[in-house]
A and B are shown apart, each in its own frame.
Chain A
Amino acid sequence: MLKGKERAIAGFVSLLAQAPWDVGQDDVAVLRAAGLGEQAILHVVVLGAYFNYLNRVADAVDIEFDYESALPRMVRDVEREPLPIPAPRVPNPAPLAMRLVERAGTAQAFAQWSAYVMERDQPLTRRDRRVIARSASLALADGATAQRLADAVPRDDRECILGEYARVLTSTPWRLGRGHLDSLRALGLDDVGLLDVISVAAFQNTASRLGLVLTRP
């Protein structure tokens, strides 16, 4: 059983993963009370947000687990329902009074990653990217991003399918199946395009968690 610092971190990142809209100052205070300094707390938040990206890419692509592990193999509950999503709030709660720029290297890496994912014209259009990102942000109650992407409400079947994929990837990644990608293939996307859809939706899972918890610059 985890104790002290480990218990506090595990509880915090579990909340960040499941219900990032609910992370509050009390949750941050638990980390401080466990002995984490502000830079360590920032590291927990950013790493936890980032690992939500890696998890979702792994599930969306269905890569095989190829590491050695002493842990028993986890059994998934595919019937598990996500927590109810509240109406997005603006501004975001931002319970941690720290900015990503306080980790300069990570801020630079994140900015470059964001630009690559969101500001290209192929294989997805910029509008496609905005539709996907908006859908993922709504599934995380990230009101600030949803407001910024207010023009990206799906307006045809293609955009509805892109948005729905982003919603499933965000809320129930454990339910992702080959069929979800087949729906995207039916839109004419090849594997490069599929990776782009996965990349945008999963990226927003990091970006929205950061936006909900950290103070914006």
Chain B
Amino acid sequence: MAWIHTIDAHEATGPLAAVYARMRERPMPKAYLPPHGGTPGIIRAHSLDPKLIELVFGGMSASLATDTLPWPLRELVNTATSRINQCLY
């Protein structure tokens, strides 16, 4: 269980439900869709601040999902960074 309160999609209301719906509408590689079908944990981690979700994932993440770097190399950046930071996620 997370160390701060998080809210999954089926519990979300108001602005959080709306931003979750917008996140689901984004085109997404299958590898980014968790098998449980709910909200990915990294987005859920931000669930107490729907505006932050919009800015981080709707803004920054979306702006970096471009082919100036092909997807496999973007994944390499993400994986290598996580590895050296010893981040399981």
Q: Interface of A with B (CB < 8 Å)?
A: 5-6, 9-10, 13-14, 16-18, 39-40, 42-44, 46-48, 50-68, 73-74, 76-77, 80, 103, 105-106, 108-110, 112-113, 116, 173-174, 178, 181, 191-192, 194-196, 198-199
Q: Which of A10, A103, A116, A194 contacts B51 (CB 8 A)?
A: A116
A25: min CB distance to chain B, Å: 20
- Residues of B near A54 (CB, < 8 A) are 42, 89
Which A-chain residue is minimally distant from B45 (CB atoms)? Answer: A61
- Residues of A near B86 (CB, < 8 A) are 74, 76-77, 80, 173-174
B81 touches A178 (CB 8 A): no
Q: Which of A16, A59, A66, A113 contacts B87 (CB 8 A)?
A: A59
B33-47 contacts to A (CB < 8 Å): 34-36, 40-42, 44-46
A9 touches B55 (CB 8 A): no
Q: Which of B56, B80, B84, B89 contacts A113 (CB 8 A)?
A: B56
Q: Interface of B with A (CB < 8 Å)?
A: 2-6, 31-32, 34-36, 40-42, 44-46, 48-49, 51-52, 55-56, 59-64, 66, 68-69, 73-74, 76-78, 80-89
A194 touches B4 (CB 8 A): yes
- Residues of A near B2 (CB, < 8 A) are 61-64
Which B-chain residue is minimally distant from A76 (CB atoms)? Answer: B86
Closest 8 CB pairs of A and B: A109-B59, A63-B41, A58-B89, A55-B87, A174-B86, A43-B69, A105-B63, A106-B63
- Residues of B near A44 (CB, < 8 A) are 69, 73, 77
A68 touches B3 (CB 8 A): no
Q: Which of A14, A57, A192 contacts B80 (CB 8 A)?
A: A14
A6 touches B73 (CB 8 A): yes
B64: min CB distance to chain A, Å: 5
A192 touches B49 (CB 8 A): yes
B81 touches A48 (CB 8 A): yes
Q: Given known contacts A14-B81, A43-B74, A67-B31, what 17 new A-B pairs fall within 8 Å (CB)?
A: A17-B81, A50-B60, A55-B81, A56-B85, A58-B87, A61-B6, A61-B45, A63-B45, A65-B88, A68-B35, A74-B88, A105-B63, A106-B60, A108-B59, A110-B60, A181-B3, A196-B49
A113 touches B59 (CB 8 A): yes
A109 touches B81 (CB 8 A): no
B62 touches A192 (CB 8 A): no
- Residues of A near B62 (CB, < 8 A) are 105, 109
Which A-chain residue is minimally distant from B52 (CB atoms)? Answer: A199
- In the complex, A17 Cα to B78 Cα: how many Å? 11
